[in-house]
Chain A
């Protein structure tokens, strides 16, 4: 079983819609959860992180965390074509000074 799992996609949504990206993790000791965006040919860019159960909002982005279900998601409201990228979920456990990444979900926002 992979430690961090994401649907690889591709996920296509129309412009203006809500894009929902999901991630599950296996280590119950995981404490911090990160979402990165990676454009083709570029390096990952940190969008936001979350460490408490519930929702965290930053502009058009909302991260949701449910530790009991070992599930974290990213919602992108009012999706724009410029949001088209691969979104990487990453997890950090208390004992490890490293991030474990999922394989990423490719998102395409259609004009």
Chain B
């Protein structure tokens, strides 16, 4: 099976702009989660989508939003970018076939805000 794919891999934006990141989960996986990783805060949960519905949300401002499509592909959007939004954004595709909530990460999108 192909793994989780994320596009673009690298992005440079200016403060105040908005950005959209895309994620395609592993085939057959219906849950997609998004995380932000920074050196100072580590891996922090943004939100989780399942069957086009947001099931869970972390403690991030409303500037961070997401959606999921019927084919399970997901996008996240960050509006009014701030310098502190510079981070590695990771998408994770989840399976519970083993009875355990296993998450597999994509390669990430490295966002730099200048």
Contacts and interface: CB of A to CB of B under 8 A. Distances in A.
Q: Chain B's interface: helix, strand, loop or mixed, by majority?
A: strand
Interface string B9-36: 0000000000000000000000101000
Which among B31, B45, B58, B103 has the highest number of chain A CB atoms within 10 Å?
B103
Given A43-B106, A44-B90, A49-B100, A98 B42 contact: no
Interface stretch (A16-24, A74-82, A99-107): A99-107
B45 A99 contact: yes
A79 to B, nearest CB: 24
Contacts of B88: 43
B107 A43 contact: yes
Which 9 pairs from chain A and chain B are nearest by CB?
A: A101-B43, A43-B105, A103-B42, A43-B108, A98-B45, A32-B100, A92-B101, A44-B105, A97-B56
Interface residues of B, number: 23
B14 to A, nearest CB: 24
Given A49-B102, A51-B100, A99-B103, A44 B43 contact: yes
B55 interface: yes
B105 A45 contact: yes
A42 B89 CA distance: 11
Contacts of B106: 43
Contacts of A103: 42
Interface string B45-78: 1001010000110100000000000000000000
Interface of A: 32, 34, 36, 42-46, 49, 51, 88, 90, 92, 96-104
Contacts of B31: 97
A43 B107 CA distance: 5
Contacts of A96: 56
A42 B58 contact: no
Contacts of B58: 98
Nearest to B90: A43
A32 B90 contact: no
A44 B105 CA distance: 6
Contacts of A51: 100
28 contacts: A32-B101, A34-B102, A34-B103, A36-B105, A42-B107, A43-B105, A43-B106, A44-B90, A46-B102, A46-B103, A46-B105, A49-B100, A49-B102, A88-B43, A92-B100, A97-B50, A97-B56, A97-B101, A98-B45, A98-B48, A98-B58, A99-B33, A99-B45, A99-B92, A99-B101, A99-B103, A102-B42, A104-B42
